[in-house]
Amino acid sequence: MHKDLELAFNKIVEILKEDKRCKGGWHYGSISRNTEDIYSDYDPVFLVADRDFEEFSKDVPQIITRASDELLIFWGESFNDQYFKNYCSLIRLGNNLHQLDFFIINADYPEEWMCRQHLKGCTSDNIIFDRTGEVTKLLGKGLTTDNYLPDPVRAMDTYWFHAEMLIKYFKRKDIFKLIKNIDILFHSHVDLLLSQYDSLDWGSWESKVKYCVPKDKRSHLKSYFVNAEFKDLEDAVKSSMYLFKQDAEELCEKKGINYPSSISDQIIFYFSKRMDEKE
């Protein structure tokens, strides 16, 4: 953590210790996983009773403002509801800008999915403060969510379907349709690899790729990112299809999945043939 962000966060904690509506809180994110560095921000989760939940949430901007030199952006997540909220803030501290998340769990509904997700893997070692003992008790329950692994067959079907779809967008010179659907290829490739290698019970796909997927496989994912020019994109798709095919065949062999190789063979051949044809 940056030193001035540490100071601001400590101010927030001191303010909340004086606010009886806040029962306490714990660290989520990189601090709770021992992966933080100088560029990390805080991901604190605070516990508030249902009767105070909405009123407390409305006061969060004032709390952050008191602890910073300027609150530039206060951005609520689209999934915020009556059980769980996250507010992402951009604050100024001196000459530096920092981001800060502020999670709130409704203490009366800890079984809700987003609440369990932000209890997942957290223990009493992660407690920031505990006014009433309820934080320690809640963390001791071990509430969690199931670990989701993508369906590799779904990933393969999605990939090859959209790979063939790209032909018409290349022919039409529809650059933004190409960008959109190449992104689908990329994420299908991510899903394919995570279905085999993901072993983390936390984090989004990019963290899972970083910590779980072998280095040589991670390099395959970088093949999709080129200049947004038609020839560059065409070459990237052609090379990426072979890399995906390689990774898919390895996965199918290891997992005993009978996925017809004729699907990828036909689509790769047809793609190259159609790209070479003059309309």
Domain end among 83, 106, 140 = 140
Q: What is the CATH number of the domain that holds 199?
A: 1.20.120.330
Which of 83, 108, 140 is where one domain is finished? Answer: 140
Average of per-residue pLDDT across 226-233: 97
Average pLDDT, the chain: 95
pLDDT recorded at residue 40: 80
**DSSP class per residue in 231-258:** HHHHHHHHHHHHHHHHHHHHHHHHHT--
Report the distance separating Cα 170 and Cα 174, nearest Å: 6
Distance of alpha carbon 138 from alpha carbon 179, whole angstroms: 45
Q: Does the residue 147 lie in any domain?
A: no
127 with 196, same domain: the answer is no
Least confident of 2-6, 97-101, 161-165, 169-173: 2-6
Average pLDDT for residues 111-129, to the nearest whole number? 95
For residue 164, give its domain range: 152-276
Q: Report which residue type is found at 39.
A: Y
- Domain C-terminal end among 116, 140, 164: 140
CB of 107 closer than 8 Å to CB of 49? yes
pLDDT tier for residue 260 given thresholds of 50, 70 and 90: very high
pTM for this prediction: 0.88
Predicted local confidence at residue 1, as pLDDT: 63
* AA identity, residue 112: E
Same domain, 91 and 114: yes
Task: Give the pLDDT score at 233.
Answer: 98
| Cα–Cα distance for residue pair 102/87, rounded to 1 Å | 5
For the stretch 239-253, pLDDT in tens is 999 999 999 999 999
* CA atoms within 13 A of residue 73's CA, in its CB half-sphere: 11
- What count of other Cβ atoms lies within 10 Å of the Cβ of residue 221? 19
- Please report which confidence band the pLDDT of residue 30 belongs to, taking 50, 70 and 90 as the band edges: confident
CA distance 202 to 69: 33
Q: Average the pLDDT over 16-26 and give the result.
A: 97
- pLDDT tens for each residue of 195-216: 999 998 888 999 999 999 999 9
Domain count for the chain: 2
User: pLDDT over 90 for what percent of the chain?
Assistant: 89
The number of angstroms, rounded, from the C-alpha of 111 to the middle of its chain's C-alpha atoms is 21
- CB-CB contact of 108 with 82 (8 Å): no
Query: CA 244, CA 250: separation in Å to the nearest integer?
Result: 10
Query: Which amino acid is residue 138, in one-letter code?
Result: L
